[in-house]
Structure 1
Amino acid sequence: MKNIAIFASHNGSGLDAIVEAVNKGILPLNIALVVSNNTKAKALQKAKDYKLTCKLVNTKTYDDPDDALYLLLQEHKCEYIFLSGYMKKLPSILTCNFKIINSHPSLLPKYGGTGMYGRFVHEAVIKNKEKVSGVTIHEVNEQYDEGKIILQKSVKILPDDTVDSLEEKIKNLEKIAIVKGLQLYIS
């Protein structure tokens, strides 16, 4: 079984989907590590509740956070990293040495790049009166949201959809897409 680390800056909603899929035997992975750069991240408490190893890694906890991340991933023998709302750009020491996957709340290449995350994506999609949105599971490289696309799932935007209702649709779709994307990527 291969080891995966999950990086999250806030809620880490993808963590729940991955834990559930691992527990059901759908994903043949071991969640070896959960990392956050944010002391207030709910993902850290979730990891503790799931009895997973979790670490806070930022400039307050380590002199060189990038080196610390690399060493932690090596120590926990992680081959994969899944980004579940991780808001820090990853250094080349990670992108060159690990298989990194991200979930993005739009159909890339639309609404990707710097500043395009979470609610900001949904606001732009609604403002531009798009008819469809969705989720992209993609490999991570050194550029925001430009890695090879693994999987996309879409959802129709209804005339009465709001930013909130679209965000809810995307979050529900994302849970399915994360598991399916990881299945495709690790097989």
Structure 2
Amino acid sequence: MKTRIAIFASGSGSNAQKLMEHFKRSDDAEIVLVLTNNPDAYVLQRADNFEIPTHVFNRDEFYRSEEIINLLERLDIDLIVLAGFLWLVPKTLIQKYPGRIINIHPALLPKYGGKGMYGDHVHNAVIAAGETEGGITIHYVNENYDEGEYIYQGRYRIEKDDNLEMVKFKGQNLEHTQFPKVIESVVKKLKK
């Protein structure tokens, strides 16, 4: 039986698309739902292109009701992947899926993590600090931003003349190649 994955995303969804592409060919897992808190998120179009159902929710539904948990349970979701999802995951969802919620962060945690540290905010902070390397962290989710146990960290070199676009490009390249592989390895561990 395939592991059933739900993706949460808030924006463009390029990482979500890489996961959809990867698991479309997988015998081990499938993406069965994409959820977003942003009705204008491009990830909705990406999911539609793969004929994956979507669900748009608001703050009340996410934090003050059991609707999301009930939906995930109805669909027999085994694993939740956050791919550019910006809200803090509520404790009720973490308790329902212990060790089964994974996030990707565009920096080498514990540096440049926490509330408000996402996307360009992270890359600009890395550049401003004069870092010579950047990276990504894929980690389990707990009740605090970016503090869950690390699964994978990957690094890339930052040259002196690298601008924001170049740092973003290097980071996204690493995300797009490694995120599907890491999620695949987590799926294989779940099956044991």
Q: Which TM-score band (shorter chain)?
A: over 0.9
Question: 1:77 corresponds to which residue?
Answer: 76
Cα displacement (A) at 1:96: 1.2
User: Where in structure 2 are the equivalents of 1:1-187 lying within 5 Å?
Assistant: 1-25=2-26, 28-59=28-59, 62=61, 66-98=65-97, 99-187=100-188
The one-letter code of the counterpart of 1:19 is: M
CA gap 1:21/1:68 in 2 versus in 1, 3 angstroms: same
Segments of 4+ moved more than 3 angstroms:
62-66
The separation in 1 between residues aligned to 2:7 and 2:84, in whole angstroms, is 10
Aligned residues: 185
CA gap 1:66/1:141 in 2 versus in 1, 3 angstroms: farther
The separation in 2 between residues aligned to 1:65 and 1:177, in whole angstroms, is 34
CA gap 1:162/1:73 in 2 versus in 1, 3 angstroms: same
> CA-to-partner distance for each residue in 1:8-42, whole Å, 9 max, x for gaps?
111111111111211233x7211111000011000
List gaps (5 residues or longer) in structure 2. none
The separation in 2 between residues aligned to 1:93 and 1:163, in whole angstroms, is 37
The one-letter code of the counterpart of 1:8 is: A
The one-letter code of the counterpart of 2:125 is: A
The separation in 2 between residues aligned to 1:55 and 1:184, in whole angstroms, is 26
Cα displacement (A) at 1:184: 2.4
CA gap 1:159/1:30 in 2 versus in 1, 3 angstroms: same
The one-letter code of the counterpart of 2:56 is: L
The one-letter code of the counterpart of 2:128 is: K
Cα displacement (A) at 1:183: 2.2
CA gap 1:65/1:85 in 2 versus in 1, 3 angstroms: farther
The separation in 1 between residues aligned to 2:154 and 2:185, in whole angstroms, is 14
The separation in 2 between residues aligned to 1:109 and 1:185, in whole angstroms, is 21
Instruction: Name the Cα RMSD after superposition.
Output: 1.6
Kindly indicate whether the alpha-carbon contact (under 8 Å) linking 1:152 and 1:177 is maintained by their aligned counterparts in 2: no
The separation in 2 between residues aligned to 1:168 and 1:66, in whole angstroms, is 38
The separation in 2 between residues aligned to 1:63 and 1:10, in whole angstroms, is 17
Kindly indicate whether the alpha-carbon contact (under 8 Å) linking 2:24 and 2:30 is maintained by their aligned counterparts in 1: no
The separation in 1 between residues aligned to 2:143 and 2:63, in whole angstroms, is 18
CA gap 1:110/1:159 in 2 versus in 1, 3 angstroms: same
The separation in 2 between residues aligned to 1:8 and 1:109, in whole angstroms, is 22
